[in-house]
Amino acid sequence: MRIRLYNARILTMEDGQGVFEGEIHVFDERIGKVIAYGDGETSFCDAASGYWDEEIDCRGNLLMPGFKNAHTHSGMSFLRSYADDVPLQEWLQEKIFPMEAKLQGEDVYHLAKLSILEYLTSGITAVFDMYLKPDQMAHACMDLGMRCTLAGGLNNFTFSLEQMEADYQKWNKTHPLINYQLGFHAEYTCDKRLLEGVAELSGKYKAPVYMHLSETAREVEECKTKYGMTPTAFLDSLGIFDYGGGGYHCVYMTPEDMNIFQKRGLYVITNPASNLKLASGIAPIAEFVRRGIPVAIGTDGPASNNCLDMFREMFLVSGLSKIKEQDASSLDAMEVLRMATVGGARAMGLTDCDVLAEGKYADIIMLDLHEPNMQPIHNIPKNIVYSGSKSNVKMTMIGGRILYYNKEFILSENIDDIYENCGKIINVMTSSR
């Protein structure tokens, strides 16, 4: 497919590059050209009529890289609004784990599709997913066209080192939309011997490792009681961070923990809405930025958030930082937008779709600037972070395929069938309580 997106405002998210007027040419799954219009020039096309399979007049709307949801559990859509208003440990032990034990067959495959639909409406073009049955998540993404980095969810109760290694080998060569990173659920759900095995596997492949980390004060204190160290320091002592990686949440981080992140080049992946809803706390994002620690943004899963909306997450990252620092200038909106796009892509190992540039994957979104919440146009990046919403997502393109346009899904599957399949699964699970 040859697609011409013209008469657009463009924000490539490349360093030092602001918004400009121009057009983007897409050839199959990649960007062929990003063209800035010259003075007095209103359009540009270097091909004869009939060359393009599709030409879209963007009417001055914004083209930018899609958002990267750097931490989520897509298959947990069946638990949306089921286990609300309780603390994290009770939420996990009494609500989540018992229901997850009822998952069977292809349940995760169908439940993940529901989350993928929501990602598309939010301009999310890639997700970093950690959940049960990664094969089913991968097939759901392949079938609907979503880009996905699978994260190993190893723990004492499910998966094994052998299975994670097999998944790592399989999903890093099976499909261009799917890749895989080593990972485990958390320090508190893995015994020391298992974690030592993770370190060995990381060393074998020289691969980064990701996990839930320092999400609550209780988690940190219990780790210090067991091992005499914070979770970050303990995991580093085992060699788990020797080849990079990062932590999801990172709410309770000591100066020593941050030093380790700086030394190892680790990513912080913050999840503000989930941390608020579970009363876990507010991560020190501005301090991470001051120290040069790279930050990405995730929604967490639909059970703990419950909304898979990157606009809400961006606003919370900025707003909560200002409150925590007691400084309205503590975190600039452009820095937050970078976290939601470039930061997420690089945390996930997706360096081919971090910015809009020739040769990169055509993972592009169009934001409608003609809506009241985006007017007047004083500063587009700040508008996106502070007043933008899912209603502004006019187009979501992944790998050169337009999957969502003008509030409609362009997929090979019937949307009502996806809803119906999820409803059947949930009815069976709740009737057996």
pLDDT tens per residue, range 340-393: 999 999 999 999 999 999 999 999 999 999 999 999 999 999 999 999 999 999
| Boundary (domain end) residue, out of 347, 375, 393 | 347
In a domain, 46, yes or no: yes
Reported pTM: 0.96
The pLDDT score that the predictor gives to residue 33 is 97
CA distance linking residue 38 with residue 44, whole number of Å: 9
Residues 47 and 195 in one domain: no
Domain assignment present for residue 378? The answer is: yes
Return d(Cα 408, Cα 389) in angstroms, integer: 17
Let me know whether 72 and 56 are in one domain: no
Q: Is residue 425 part of a domain?
A: no
- State the Cα–Cα distance between residues 344 and 360, nearest whole angstrom: 15
- Specify whether the CB–CB gap between 297 and 314 falls below 8 A: yes
Residues 304 and 249 in one domain: yes
Percent of the chain at pLDDT > 90 equals: 89
Are both 197 and 210 inside the same structural domain? yes
Q: What is the DSSP letter of 305?
A: S
Task: Give yes or no: residues 74 and 217 share one domain.
Answer: yes
Same domain membership, residue 317 and residue 233: yes
- Residue 429 inside a domain? The answer is no
In this predicted structure, what is the pLDDT of residue 49? 65
What pLDDT score does 107 carry? 96
Structural domain includes residue 430: no
Q: Which domain holds residue 247?
A: 67-347
What's the CATH code of the domain at 258? 3.20.20.140
Q: Does the structure show a pLDDT above 60 at 44? A: no
Range in 67-81, 236-250, 275-289, 418-432 the model is least confident about: 418-432
**Does the pLDDT at position 210 exceed 80?**
yes
Give yes or no: residues 104 and 139 share one domain.
yes
One domain for residues 152 and 229: yes
CATH label of the domain that carries residue 38: 2.30.40.10
**Are 101 and 56 in a shared domain?**
no
Query: What span, in angstroms and rounded, lies between the C-alpha atoms of 420 and 417?
Result: 5
Residue 337 belongs to some domain of the structure? yes
Count of the separate structural domains present in the chain: 2
- Rounded to the nearest 10 degrees, what angle do helices 192-205 and 161-171 cross at? 30
The conformation of residue 206, written as its DSSP 8-state character, comes to: T
pLDDT band at 92 (very low <50, low <70, confident <90, very high): confident
Are 225 and 318 in a shared domain? yes
Q: How far apart are CA 276 and CA 376, in angstroms?
A: 31
Q: Are residues 134 and 54 in the same domain?
A: no
Residues 221 and 315 in one domain: yes
Establish if 417 belongs to a structural domain: no
Q: Does any domain span residue 300?
A: yes
Given a cut of 80, is residue 253 above it in pLDDT?
yes
